[in-house]
Amino acid sequence: MKYLLACAALAAVAANAFASGDYGPSYTMFKAYTKPDIPNMRFQAGELGVLQPGMRRVYLYTAWRAIMLGAPVAQKPGTAKGLDRADGSAFGYGWDHVDGEDTSADLIGRAARVLNIKADDPAARLIVACPAAANAHAAATLRQLEARPDANRARVDAWLRAQYQVGESCQRAEDARYAYRAEKLPGIVAPQPLPATEPAYWRQLRDYQRAAWQFHGAHYAESTALFDQIGATAGHPMQGLGAYLALRSEVRRAVAAVPQTPRDARERQAQVLDKRGAAILADASLQTMHEPARALLRSMRVRLTPESRLDELNRYLDDPAHDPYALDRLGDWSVLMDDAKPEPLRGQHAFIDWIATLQDCAGSRDGSCAVPARHALERWQQGRSSAGIPTRGWSLR
């Protein structure tokens, strides 16, 4: 009995459910269509249930791998919670959040006091206009500096005003995304260096805020130089972040220019960025930034050199014995496939052909899976006559 043919038949039943009555919703409205009903941990270990043609690629690849490996997949499901990372559920599906206490209300209240406005004034919220992780870091920094013996009202307020300016830069970047071409946004001012009479600690925190203002405002050449300087300054309170943030700034600069940069130039840029990242990974004093740097470099390859990265991932994922969740490979592949044309790849990679064949049922105009079913049968028959084409994915043993 052909496994994919069975999937296609089930998909056809689901697709035609609405047509079975003139009124009422389709049966599939009461089922998970883009993801499994089964918890990710069990699905990753091979408990597939009924596959839906509308499932996301990360689930369909996981299903293909389980079918190809058979029973052993339960003993070797891959990286623990790997599917949670691949489908984004481990990261809140992309929503901006951080674990722990929400400190935004405290920052907003502090900003309102310094600016002499009401706490419910929308202007006060600009201090938390940056991503949640940046706001959490700002709140932690505020707690640290207030605990210092040399902290006083004037210094803390000066830090809050500069942090508010950083928030303005974040908000300006967001406004620019949705502004009309002819729309002129109001000007904002960058934080200025503190005078040399101030203690080094406070001056160095201001330098970090200046770098952050430049970064969020997409002034990457300036932010890279400032972050590099922070990373090279012994005793700087943010020294451990300097090299990583300079790398991130350079990645952002390269990615922002992707539409205007030829592929060969982008490949060279990626090599330079890889070298920068390698220096961080080779520095034992930056141990806490090693994993963030690795993740940043992987993300850089996806966004800067998607062509070569997709080819590399396709070749890796061809072998179901490989762990697809290691180094977030399956998640990266899924992102890249959103912009790729699967048809040229179907003849090169069996798993892409298998996934696309099942997905064809979801895209069928008449709700029929007849064409995908014929293709599945042809592939199964080819597998029977040629040792070079695996048949397990197209049939039940």
Place of tokens 């762990």: 323
Token representation of residue 143:
């707690």
For residue 14, the model assigns a pLDDT of: 44
Mean pLDDT in consecutive groups of 10 residues from the start of the chain, 397 residues: 45 41 46 84 92 91 92 84 92 60 84 93 94 93 96 97 97 85 81 97 98 97 98 96 98 97 98 98 97 96 97 96 96 95 91 90 68 73 53 50
**Rounded Cα distance, 352 and 345, in Å:** 7
List the structure tokens of 380. Answer: 């199964």
The pLDDT, as a whole number, for residue 198 is: 97
Residue 237 per-residue DSSP state: T
Three-class SS of residue 350?
helix
The answer to whether the beta carbons of residues 361 and 372 sit under 8 Å apart is yes
CB 291 within 8 A of CB 298: no
Collapse the DSSP code of 17 into the 3-class scheme (helix H, G, I; strand E, B; otherwise coil) and give the result.
Answer: coil
d(CA 265, CA 155) in angstroms, rounded, equals 46
* Residue (of 226, 155, 243) closest to 190 by Cα position: 226
The Cβ of residue 204 has, within 10 Å, a number of other Cβ atoms equal to: 18
**Which residue in the block uniquely carries the two structure tokens 């559920």?**
89
Long-range Cβ contact pairs of 171-177 (< 8 A, separation 24 or more): 171/126, 171/129, 172/217, 173/216, 173/217, 173/218, 174/129
Residue 88 is given by DSSP the state S
Q: Are 355 and 64 in contact (CB under 8 A)?
A: yes
Contact indicator for 103, 135 with CB cutoff of 8 Å: yes
- HSE on the CB side for 328, CA within 13 Å? 20
Alpha helices in 217-262 (DSSP H): 220-232, 239-256
Query: Up-side HSE of residue 162: CA atoms within 13 Å toward CB?
Result: 26
Residue of 54, 79, 81, 48 whose CA lies nearest to 66: 48
Give the pLDDT score at 364.
65
Contacts 24+ apart (CB under 8 A), 176-185: none
Q: The tokens of 6 are what?
A: 């069975």
Cα-trace Rg, the chain: 26
pLDDT value of residue 396:
39
Q: What is the pLDDT of residue 393?
A: 57
**Nearest of 183, 180, 184, 202 to residue 193 by alpha carbon:** 202
What does the CA dihedral 175, 179, 181, 183 come to, rounded to 10 degrees? -90
Q: 3-class SS at 114?
A: helix
Give, in degrees to the nearest 5, the angle at Cα 271 between 269 and 276.
95
- List, in order, residues 6 or more apart from 9 with CB less than 8 Å away: 369, 373
Tell me whether residue 35 is exposed, middle or buried, using C-beta atoms within 10 angstroms of its C-beta: 0 to 12, 13 to 18, 19 or more: middle
Cα separation, 26 vs 33, in Å, equals 12
Which pLDDT belongs to residue 226?
Answer: 98
User: Rounded CA gap, 212 and 150, in Å?
Assistant: 24
* Exposure class string for 98-127: b at 16+ Cβ within 10 A, else e: eeeeebbeebbebbbebbeeeeeeeebbbb
Alpha-carbon distance 275 to 20, whole Å? 61
160-198 as b/e: b if 16+ CB within 10 A = bebbbbbbbbbbbeeeeeeeeeeeeeeeeebbeebeeeb
